Amino acid sequence: MKLVFVRHTSVAVPKGICYGNTDVPLASSFEEEATLVKEKLRPYAFDRVYCSPLSRCVRLADFCGFPDAIRDSRLKEMNFGDWEMKRYDDITDPKLQEWFDDYINVRPPGGESVIDQRKRLENFVAEIKEQQSGLTVGIFTHGGILINALVANTGKTYEEVYNDIQPYGSIVEIEL
């Protein structure tokens, strides 16, 4: 089975804002960026297409010709709980330093950890493997899901993947 992860395009959120699970708007450059993504997807023949239900992924899937992509909440970005839509510099929660020290395992208040998100992704992948072995699957999703997919399926560490973050609009193929 081949999984083709497509990261959404740029968002209209200032840098330094913790927006994770919030349904934020796309940047004004959407059409330009989405056209490039659509062109990069041209060689693929997907047997099934999924996407996060957040509008930044749905809109890209629609633009790329997949208006019927199956929405799956397990493909959402990480939930930062009480920190959603706050500037990191403005978060006064004492747990912030604990999270910075171990963001893989520590949950923001009311949110989830990277490992929680990875478990969601692994559950999703196990389910589609069971149902669709041998197929090519398109997945319109977020950076956090992409990071977890790379760690879970390529042997790379979180440190390696975080040091080489895939940009908005990137496409990553993983063969299972």
Question: What are the residue boundaries of the structural domains of the chain, listed by start?
Answer: 2-175
Examine the pLDDT at 168 and tell me if it is beyond 80.
yes
The predicted structure's pLDDT at residue 64: 98
The predicted structure's pLDDT at residue 68: 97
User: What's the mean pLDDT in 76-91?
Assistant: 95
Tell me the DSSP string of the chain.
Answer: -EEEEEE---BSS-TTEE-TTS-PPBPTTHHHHHHHHHHHHTT---SEEEE-SSHHHHHHHHHTT-TTPEE-GGGSPP--GGGTTEEGGG---THHHHHHH-TTTPPPTTS--HHHHHHHHHHHHHHHHHHHTT-EEEEEE-HHHHHHHHHHHHS--HHHHHTTPPPTT-EEEEE-
Q: What is the pTM of this model?
A: 0.94
The predicted structure's pLDDT at residue 131: 80
User: What's the mean pLDDT in 81-89?
Assistant: 95
The predicted structure's pLDDT at residue 134: 77
pLDDT digits (tens, 9 = 90+) for 119-144: 999 999 999 988 867 799 999 999 99
Examine the pLDDT at 163 and tell me if it is beyond 80.
yes
The predicted structure's pLDDT at residue 130: 85
Examine the pLDDT at 78 and tell me if it is beyond 80.
yes
Q: Which CATH architecture has domain 2-175?
A: 3-Layer(aba) Sandwich (3.40)
Which band of pLDDT confidence, cut at 50, 70 and 90, is reported for residue 34?
very high
